[in-house]
Structure 1
Amino acid sequence: MRLNSIIRALESGPGIAFTSFMQAEVENAVNFAQSSNDGLVFEMEHNPWDINALRVSMQFLLLREQIVRAGSVANPMSPLVRIPANGSERNEWFAKQALDLGAYGILWPRISNSEQAYNAVAACRYPRLPERSHYEPAGLRGDAPMAAARYWGLPQQEYYKRADVWPLVPEGEILVGLMIEDTEGVNNVEKILKEVPGIGFILIGEGDLSQELGCPREYDNPELLRMMGQVLEVGKAHGVAVGHPHMTRENARQIIDQGYRFLMSYPRRDFSALETGRKIFQEL
């Protein structure tokens, strides 16, 4: 059975996953665990890199009753982590620490070219010999699977088999997301998706991109919308899900109709945007 609930959502039906950014805090984890999200992203780019808070929060996402009821070790909601380092910084150790705790994937901020994208995917893979299948991108992840295997509920050898990137390795359970947040990234997204296998989804960073365009957080700016549409169409052409970072009650139908497939809301305690998106999803 598929362990990563976000991948499961992307593989099934219309292929839409509902997620949210969340600070690594116990109360947040308890609230989000009871939502209908497919997964969430622990936001640790603009929040402190607190590895202990991440570890504890991930534990409070686990819903034992639902796991037992489903007859599978898979938790209903899978955590990803947005790390602090931009793509150009190539700080693979952030990804390594998050994956070693049991995170099901990494969201990399500000990926602008193929070299940075290659490094992002490579950092989420264990090394292998060149003659083995799916060698590229050549893995960089260090070997310390104990906590991750325990979190996934698998023996270590089974964890190794499944701890690879999807969709490059179909049975892989690790999701690599790249944020396109500048004009260089927008102009290079076609090249990135052609040259780098193993990218699970693209998420458009409206905030940073609008800053560069001189229209900070003016989300209806025509040039910003044009660039977002460009990324969306490239993603569709390559079969890679493109994410929208601000799903609301007001725009949910529009962005679903446009073809965004990784939908992020900011529910806090109000899950109305998520409920609206779910209702539209059920009508598809």
Structure 2
Amino acid sequence: MTTIKNLLAMPLEHGIAPKLRNGEHVYGISIGTPYPALIQMCGHAGYDFVVIDNEHGPASVETVAEAIRAAHGVGISPIVRTFEQDIPRLLDAGACGIQVPMVETPEQANRIVRACRYPPMGTRAVAFSTPAACYGFCDRDAYLKEANCAIAVILMIETAEAVARIDEILAVPGVDAVCVGPTDMAYSLGVPADGKHPKVQNAVFRCVEACQRAGIAIGGTALSREACRANASMGMTYHSMMLTFLLGAALRDGLNTMRAAVSS
């Protein structure tokens, strides 16, 4: 029985929810093509979490399930960026957190939180045959209790309407973190493709202030060291970068290195 109880912890022990709630900085990578090898590389590199992007990425639930399995194998927390309707299947596959885009109302926030929690705290359907429940090799009561505490609920604030209602959204019990999306926010605020516009920056800062008042973590995706430093200076603790851009920069540097070596 001790062995089974040890197995119980495996799908959830890599979760970042406790760190988010304690105000600790966490560092991750956003991946739109979640091949297991890429997930493993991120884990071996020492990142805290990986955001598997099912909003803009083409992966099926089956592909994401294999990526989640790879994440657990290297001790990195799998967070899935997804729409509401897929939350139950992704949690059953073993996701340690859900990041939902385009959240604009407290009613939507409440639905998301409840979808991530088993009764009586929420509406998540109970099943013990899933990867999340160690395929049934677990103490059932302990698993349900642990799952309700360990799953991170992260809401993406990306529109003017969401910013206007940020305090109401954060008042929903069970929200662990907010991730701001300045690109969509720029379009929503009428300044397309200008994430550095004062309107956007003011909206982001308003979200940061609201999260600090509510004691809820906030973060965003940084495209450079300078952007990450700026986010941290505002009070953000949930940090991520995009694998696509990191790989693109590395590929360009590698090509330039070869060309320079040949021509020198």
TM range (shorter): 0.7 to 0.9
User: How many residues were matched structurally?
Assistant: 236
Q: What is the RMSD of the two structures over their aligned residues, measured on CA atoms?
A: 2.4
Partner of 2:125: 142
Any idea what SS the aligned residue of 1:59 has?
helix
**Which structure 2 residues correspond to residues 22-61 of structure 1 after superposition, within 5 A?**
22-23=31-32, 24-61=34-71
Bigger drift between 230-239 and 15-24 goes to: 15-24
| Greater RCO, 1 or 2 (C-alpha within 8 Å, sep 6+) | 2
Partner of 1:119: 111
Paired with 1:62 and 1:198, the residues of 2 have a C-alpha distance of 24
Any idea what SS the aligned residue of 2:165 has?
helix
5+ residue gaps, structure 1: 64-74, 86-90, 129-134, 165-171, 274-284
**Which structure 2 residues correspond to residues 157-236 of structure 1 after superposition, within 5 A?**
157-164=141-148, 172-194=149-171, 196-236=172-212
TM-score normalised to the size of structure 1? 0.76
Higher helix share: 2
Mark the structure with the bigger radius of gyration.
Answer: 2
Partner of 1:70: none
* CA deviation profile, 1:240-282 (whole Å, cap 9, x unmatched): 00111225212222221210111111245949x9xxxxxxxxx
1:244 correspondence with 2:254: no
Aligned match for 2:29, one of 20, 35, 42: 20
Percent identity among equivalent residues? 27
Report the AA paired with residue 203 of structure 1.
C
CA contact under 8 A between 1:206 and 1:245: conserved in structure 2?
Answer: no
Any idea what SS the aligned residue of 2:79 has?
strand
Structure 1 residue runs of 4+, over 4 Å off?
A: 151-154, 268-271
The alpha-carbon distance between structure 1 residues 253 and 6, as it changes in their structure 2 partners (threshold 3 A), is same
Partner of 2:140: 156
Paired with 1:124 and 1:31, the residues of 2 have a C-alpha distance of 28
Partner of 1:282: none
Paired with 1:161 and 1:241, the residues of 2 have a C-alpha distance of 23
The alpha-carbon distance between structure 1 residues 269 and 48, as it changes in their structure 2 partners (threshold 3 A), is closer
Paired with 2:243 and 2:36, the residues of 1 have a C-alpha distance of 16
Any idea what SS the aligned residue of 1:250 has?
helix
Q: What is the Cα deviation at residue 4 of structure 1? A: 3.8
Q: What is the Cα deviation at residue 218 of structure 1? A: 1.4
